[in-house]
Amino acid sequence: MKANILLNVEVISKNNGRRHGLVKSLVVVNHVLQYLVINPGGILSKAEFFKPESIVDVNYKRLIIEDDKDIIRVKRKMVKAYLEEAFPLMNYPVVDKNGELFGRVANATIEAKTYRISEYEISKSFFDDLDHGYGIIKASELTYQDQILSYEKAMFNPEFKNQGTGIANRLLGVK
């Protein structure tokens, strides 16, 4: 499944139908989806998140979890300790082996049973996305260390695959 399916959907408990809020962020550790962060609303609310194993069903409008007990509620000060080696998936910067920023994570492919990320879709720039579409990098070619996601090759590596054609090619027929 694509990661963007899990974002901005309403979280609902199956056991009592309670609505918890919208999924606002996906937290990844070692290329595995660890938590989905909920924005419950309210100034004094606690941070809420849950493990992907709690998901019963998901579509573009709602995400159903088994039970209210699956949601972890902590004070905002404690979130950093809880998610120390994690990074938010979407819009995270990616650097090449020379430390040069060349894109941001636009989406990812998540395996259904293991929640392991097999590949990342990288947006290099708005205009490049229009011309060529997103680039695709296998998760095995990216490392996360010291809060940086690094591609093991140079950014202009010819092996960097593009996802189909860009929007300009699809809509306007530009070659």
| More confident: 161 or 46 | 46
pLDDT over threshold 90, residue 27: no
Confidence of residue 159 (pLDDT cuts 50, 70, 90): low
Question: How many helices (H) and strands (E) would you count in the chain?
Answer: 3, 15
**How far is Cα of residue 152 from the mean position of the Cα atoms in its chain?**
20
Structural domain containing residue 128: 91-172
State the Cα–Cα distance between residues 163 and 104, nearest whole angstrom. Answer: 15
Domain boundary among 32, 62, 87: 87
Instruction: Return the DSSP state at 125.
Output: -
Count up the domains in the chain and report the number. Answer: 2
Q: What is the mean pLDDT of residues 27-34?
A: 89
CATH number of the domain that 70 lies in? 2.30.30.240
Confidence (pTM):
0.76
Same domain flag for 100 and 79: no
Domain boundary among 35, 64, 87: 87
> Which region holds residue 168: left if phi is over 0, alpha if psi is between -120 and 50, else beta?
alpha
Domain boundary among 22, 55, 87: 87
Mean of per-residue pLDDT scores for the chain: 79
pLDDT over threshold 70, residue 149: yes
Alpha-carbon radius of gyration of the chain = 18
Confidence of residue 175 (pLDDT cuts 50, 70, 90): very low
Give, in order, the Cα–Cα distances in Å from 21 to each of 34, 117, 129: 19, 25, 31
